[in-house]
Structure 1
Amino acid sequence: MRPGFIFMLTRNDLTVPDAPAHLETALAAGVRQIGFKDVGLPFEALRALAARIREAGGACWLEVVSLDAASEAASIRAGVEIGVDRLLGGCRAEVAAPLLAGTGIGYYPFPGRVVGHPSVLEGDAAEIAASARALAARPEVAGLDLLAYRGAVPAEALAAEVCAAAGKPVIAAGSIDRPERVQAMARAGCAGFTVGTAALDGAFRGAPPDLAAQLRAIRAAAACFD
């Protein structure tokens, strides 16, 4: 079974201050794939989030969004120390590889040229697919984190090309705020998708704005990944 919906306790590339309360709402709604970033809360609070996710039988994802090699390495070290299950994002596999060796953490870097905050994916489909193919060939790479809706290439076509090129699981991240986009990523062959800001802001279309209702609607949309 594909991971499907991954709920991110983040907004504007930061873990939200009230992440512990939102985590309990997510667990009560049946969400078990949950992630955050290594910035926005103190380290011990992030460690507590990870422990609570695992205690509930879930998988803990950490997303790395860094503009330079030093900060990317620091984020990866934080993920290792926190004890996350999977690491999303980052652009420098050569930096990540030695830091993740022997940890058992699944590594899903960004293919293509990712710039700015919030992150944007630059380049055409051929360039991004070539990057995906090269990354996926590395043994430490478990899959890819694709900013499908954050670039100039039509998202479903791009995701399909990247999935075909990679031959490993692809997680679609960023701007997935409606059922149609969830379904498009499933059709393209993605293994899952992340939603953070849209759910926290009550902006996932077709659902009431409270977080519990938003998560129920996203889980219903994610049934196409089962």
Structure 2
Amino acid sequence: MSEPDFIFMLTRDDRTVADAAVHLQTALAAGVRHIGFKDIGLPFAELAALNRTIRDNGARSYLEVVSLDVDSEIVSVRAAVKLGVDYLLGGTHVAEVLPLIEGTDIRYYPFAGGITGHPSVLEGSIADIAASAIDLASHDGVHGLDLLAYRSQTDVPALIKTVCASVNKPVIVAGSIDRAARIQAVIDSDAAGFTVGTAALDGVFPASRQGLAQQLLEIRAAMAKAS
């Protein structure tokens, strides 16, 4: 079982935070090499600066789309293409997105299942979500899946395991991973990665010292213990 990628999101409550540039430097200094942001919260120029800094430091960049209507999602995807991010996470309008990213190097991971609200909520049963994942993974231009597992009302560990076992493409578990037990569930499921944003920025993980740097260390320690 390989260790999943820990993706630190410069976000709180599904928005890129105003002081993202400061937190980015902390994450890079801590050795984090998978760093993302949302398509809302900061002007495009500031998102571009974040992406440039991430890439210039040898890390991989992730933009997660949280827009629910098709027109807004298209705007976000075009922004991702213009930014040149490594990974495009989220979104629900696959048929409209695939032509926009064709010919780019972007790795595309749309949301599995039904997504509503903001912050986003994952609707449906385990069977429903797994069926959605199988359908999405059948598209050649879909490289993996973004699973808002802890935003659902299902048996979440069972959901993650079922989705990961149902598709032959990598699954990133996103949203509300705020304790070691949830990291353990991600690792046990053989998911390819997971995101943490709000919990780290708000100091939710138990730590001997305050601050984001210590939170990032605690997350890595939880991963090591779970592996």
Q: Same fold (TM over 0.5)?
A: yes
Residue of structure 2 equivalent to 1:4: 5
1:33-112 matches, cutoff 5 A: 33-112=34-113
- Contact in 2 for aligned 1:65/1:89 (Cα 8 Å): yes
Residue of structure 2 equivalent to 1:117: 118
- Measured after TM superposition, the shift of residue 99 of structure 1 is 0.6
- Measured after TM superposition, the shift of residue 200 of structure 1 is 0.5
CA-to-aligned-CA distance 1:161-183 (integer Å, 9 cap, x gap)? 00111211000011101111101
- Contact in 2 for aligned 1:203/1:209 (Cα 8 Å): no
2: distance between equivalents of 1:104 and 1:187? 30
The one-letter amino acid paired with 1:89 is G
2: distance between equivalents of 1:75 and 1:199? 25
| Count of residue pairs the alignment pairs up | 226
Q: TM-score, normalised by structure 2?
A: 0.96
1: distance between equivalents of 2:186 and 2:206? 16
1:125-140 matches, cutoff 5 A: 125-140=126-141
2: distance between equivalents of 1:116 and 1:103? 30
Secondary structure of the 2:22 match is: helix
Q: Which runs of 5+ in 2 are unaligned?
A: none
Q: TM-score, normalised by structure 1?
A: 0.96
- Measured after TM superposition, the shift of residue 224 of structure 1 is 6.5
The one-letter amino acid paired with 1:46 is L
- Measured after TM superposition, the shift of residue 221 of structure 1 is 1.9
Q: Which runs of 5+ in 1 are unaligned?
A: none
Secondary structure of the 2:185 match is: helix
Cα distance change of structure 1 residues 164 and 224 upon mapping to structure 2, 3 Å threshold: farther
Q: What percent identity do the matched residue pairs reach?
A: 59
The one-letter amino acid paired with 1:115 is T
1: distance between equivalents of 2:107 and 2:124? 26
The one-letter amino acid paired with 1:181 is R
1:157-176 matches, cutoff 5 A: 157-176=158-177
Residue of structure 2 equivalent to 1:14: 15
2: distance between equivalents of 1:224 and 1:44? 39
Cα distance change of structure 1 residues 87 and 2 upon mapping to structure 2, 3 Å threshold: farther
Runs of 4+ in structure 1 deviating by more than 4 angstroms, as ranges, are none
Name whichever of 212-221 and 129-138 sits farther off. Answer: 212-221
The one-letter amino acid paired with 2:219 is I
Over the aligned positions, Cα root-mean-square deviation in angstroms equals 1.4
